[in-house]
Amino acid sequence: MTPGQQADAAALFDPLRPRLVRVAYRMLGSVADAEDAVQEAFLRWLGTDRAAVRAPEAFLRRVVTRICLDQLKSARHQRETYVGPWLPDPIVEEDEDEDVTLPLMLALERLSPLERAAFLLHDVFGVGFEEVAATIQRDPAACRQLAARARAHVREARPRYAVERERGLEMAQAFFHASRSGDMTALGAMLRADVSLHADGGGKRSAAVGVVQGLRHVLQLHKALGVLFRKYDSRLVRICCINGLPGFVTLEADGEYQTTALEIEDGQVVAIYVMRNPDKLRHLH
């Protein structure tokens, strides 16, 4: 391939890259793996007879999805041996609403790879079932069934009463100040009785080895953490949306970033998602 031909291929591919990464990330839950999948798709694109491709975006979305389906087979084993709760890589959004929130991504983890692909392509990205069928190599009727089963599984993960963005960010800021100052009264007033805390350290940084359930246990944990926060610096970097949820990014005393995302219903925090695994935070540096 001549440099000119490669430049022409890149000129068609590069404008589609952000959308392809979005597809891959929602399939895999990993920024690095999504970027690798899209780069692999680009290498295959270089070897394709591009003049015969009438719809490059559909073609490349198909290629990326198939690469992701192959990766999910090995990813499932990795999840089973993962140390502590697994959370998807945090995506920080400041100017746009996220179509797939963190709770929904966790619900997607319980689906089969084909169910996940059918649901994401059709329900999230608006792809018709004919194209879904061509992508996952099933007939359209089977794809409709896959999407319907996936829809039933993830229905509960859809926010029923989505918090208004500005109000959510205000609560995130209040949560940061209460948790770092050790104000358990203020913090407790924000939490629902059945609140849960999910912390992903990946065995690389200290984190709860299981999901912490219930107001009393979550407050006990934050009371202990408050002592450490007052002794060691936990600096607020910014208040923002993380995977569609209000939250914040901090720089901790060990020099690593940390993200905290809050799932809010009816004005109270029902779940707290903390990312501490440094491997999943590299893209924030």
Is residue 258 packed enough to be buried (19+ CB in 10 Å), middle (13-18) or exposed (0-12)? buried
Q: Within 13 Å and on the Cβ side, how many CA atoms surround 284?
A: 25
Q: Do the domains at 102-158 and 165-284 have one common CATH topology?
A: no
**Looking at residue 95, what is its pLDDT?**
53
Q: Beta partners for 213?
A: 196
β-pairing verdict for 212-213 and 245-251 = unpaired
In the chain, which residues have pLDDT < 50? none
Please state which of the four CATH numbers 3.90.245.10, 3.10.450.50, 3.40.50.2000, 3.40.190.290 is assigned to the domain occupying 165-284: 3.10.450.50
Cα 24 from chain centroid (whole Å): 11
**Looking at residue 77, what is its pLDDT?**
62
How many Cβ atoms sit within 10 Å of the Cβ of residue 140? 14
Give domain 102-158's CATH architecture.
Answer: Orthogonal Bundle (1.10)
* Sequence ranges of the domains in the chain: 1-81, 102-158, 165-284
**Looking at residue 60, what is its pLDDT?**
95
Give the residue among 235, 269, 270, 268 at the shortest CA–CA distance from 249: 235
pTM summary value: 0.90
Contact status, residue 89 vs residue 29, Cβ threshold 8 Å: yes
